[in-house]
Structure 1
Amino acid sequence: MRLLLAGTLVVLAAALAGGCSGGGKRTVVVLGPWTGNEAAAFTRTLDLLDDGTPYNYSYQGTSSLRETLVAQLEADAPPDVAILNSQGELQEYAREGALTPLTGDLASRAYPPWAPELVVNGSRHTYWVPLKVDIKSLVWTRTAQPVRPHSWCLGMSAQATTGWPGTDWIEDILLHRSGPQKYEQWATGALPWTSREVRDAWTTWASLMAGQDTRSALDIPYTGEGGKGLLNSGTCTEEHAGTFIRYLYGPDITFKPSADTIPGLGGHKDAYEVSGDMAAVFRDSPAAMRLLSRLAGPEGRKIWLAQAAPQLKPHFPSASDPQPTDPLGRKAATLLTGGTREAPTHELCFDASDTMPPTLRDAFQHAVLKFLSTPDSATQNRLLAQLEQERSRLAGAPALPEVCGSPAA
């Protein structure tokens, strides 16, 4: 089965390589993670952007992004542009020489914490830019639902990335209990998994989940049964998730910051965990650079917003960018771009697991699944020791220079 999959992906890689279309236009291929309605909106955006140009912009979406991209690179047939949500993976590609450095207006749109500069072979460059972004330090509930008592919605199943909702819990807890500095040290490999701060995050999560059937969460999709949302799938009252899940719900669902809602997370209220989909050039050409510049600029973002369905309208990283105008979308955009005078946002910290080397990220995801299966202190100690062993094995490998930053003006 693995050989068949590998062969299929190599064939697919060759098929997706950029080239000339039947109309004489050069095809510029964009590989990304979006499927379904998200892919349809992005494809319409590309169709409008390529009008009047000598290029045909072609989007290829897949839920097996890492496997597909690796196969393309091995076949020497990479896409012109690829969109990934893992800075850990992007850093590996940059250091392997697979990415083209960005300059000029593109480099100026590499907003922290989504796109830090890297020093590769002695030279400092920007290698990717954020296209769309999300805020994760949120708790969702029904507008008429009392905040307490807490009954947490849990769903860990997510195909190849099963377990990531659990890593989000650990990350958000550590950020708000120990602060951005300790969070950044942990995300970049400088803080041991056996440290007091990391142990505290896991212990706090266990106490929050006490009395719930955490084992059943292992098989529940993070989108809920039938993809209708966890809040619509049972008797739970609150869901810890980012803004990307708002497409599952209607106007009867709202959110509040984690630090205002989760017991014990009242510290560092001006900090939020964020994620993003970042784009990089894998096949250097003026056409690829031009497309990326337009996607990351006002023109592409206005078109994308117009093409997306109301609850799928993307958020962008800068206060100067267009943003969703629906109540929840506008509320999230405010948190992402500086907050309010009464409740400012001072620090945005990128999803820690998505800044880690892929092997450590994968081990982290597997560990939260094992912990939910048996959430006791012995299991916690064993899992943290295993994760610390993997961190020690990777010691000396280049790490991202930072994972936290101020909101983009």
Structure 2
Amino acid sequence: MNSKYDPIIFSQSESLNLDEYIVATYLMKSDTSDLLMRAGAVAVEQTTGTWMPVPDETEEVRQNHVGRVIGVFPVPSYEAAAPEGEKSSIIRIAFPWKNIGQQLPELLSTVFGNISMTNNLKVLDLEFPKSFTDGFKGPKFGIKGIRKLLDIKERPPVMAMIKPCTGIPIDVIKRQFKKLALAGVDIIKDDELIANPVHAPLKERIIACVEASNEVYEETGHRVLYFPNITDRQDIMLENAKMAVELGANGLMLNAHASGYGALAALAENPDLNVPLLAHPCFAGAMYLGENTGLSSHIVHGKFMRLDGADLVVYNCAYGKVPTLKERYIRIAQSLQSPFHDLKTTFPSPCAGIHPGIVPAMMKDIGNDMVIGAGAGMHAHPMGLKAGVDALKQAADSVLKNIPIEEYAKDHEELQAAIDLWGVYDPNKSIFELTK
């Protein structure tokens, strides 16, 4: 008598050539009486997709294309007996990547397609073989490339964004851009909420900001990277990108999650767009903030963005104004910085509420290969914008010189003023209302 547990679906990882599979790890909560069959249903639903045998689902089709359940682990690890009711488990399913091809949209459709519309199932991790990632070019510049463009060897680059987010006209944007560049900011980006509005059209905005950048370079020799926001539907996005580069923009920014996976890769792999790419995190929370649904943040901000070609990724810092777990923001950085087959590394830029007193804690967590992105932390400095930029750099220097920030501030008035106003990182209190 044949077992109801199909030996093709229920496998050991040692029986597979894992170079041919993407392994997805899920958190599943269920009150099912048959956890194995529930896991098997997920594997089948996202591959051959038939809940009952159909004539053309041959054994050859199943052998080559069905998902394989390679791990089912109740949490806690019950052995002799389990309580009634809903229980948690970790399940691991290997998906033949030949089903998908080397692209992110169909990958997402496979590992979390129809099953995303069920309750209590979250993708904890995705493990990619080199045979799959070889189909992605990844970051064109990466951390080393951006450092070379900026001529910054060791310290974290400092990034600013045009504020307020939207509503200001071209002349104000140009004035602010020049002021930021003169203050010593290394990277200036548009806000995610301004792409091509009537009050500040993209083309006019790029022309104005490039003019301001060139003026500062001629006056001081300081060159900044400018990332205009080219977000739009994908055909217009590509037109925007080419226009931006032709007008002199030396970077491009995309609301990558709102634009759809693969859009960033279309920019990264375009030979006419030889500039670094910045991925903004807006809309990403819809995919990872659920405790029992969605995908883990290190996949969304880390692995996906690196595969798609981001040279710089912005996301929330655990010490800023938006609630974020420390281990999650660190793990995102590790997904961007650590070896990932042959892909270049990507600059993490934990943002949202960054001020000089936070910088040492961030550098202790993720090192100096990060971008310090600040808004009010430089604009609202009591001694002015330039002092705000200097204070951020001084905070980073204190770490590189292995001097406690309070000690270093005694000889650096800009840093001292920032500490007097905002303090240094304290895990027991917060200056931000959203985290209280």
State the TM-score, normalizing by the size of structure 1: 0.27
| Greater relative contact order, per chain length (Cα 8 Å cut-off, separation 6+) | 1
State the TM-score, normalizing by the size of structure 2: 0.26
> Rg larger in 1 or in 2?
2
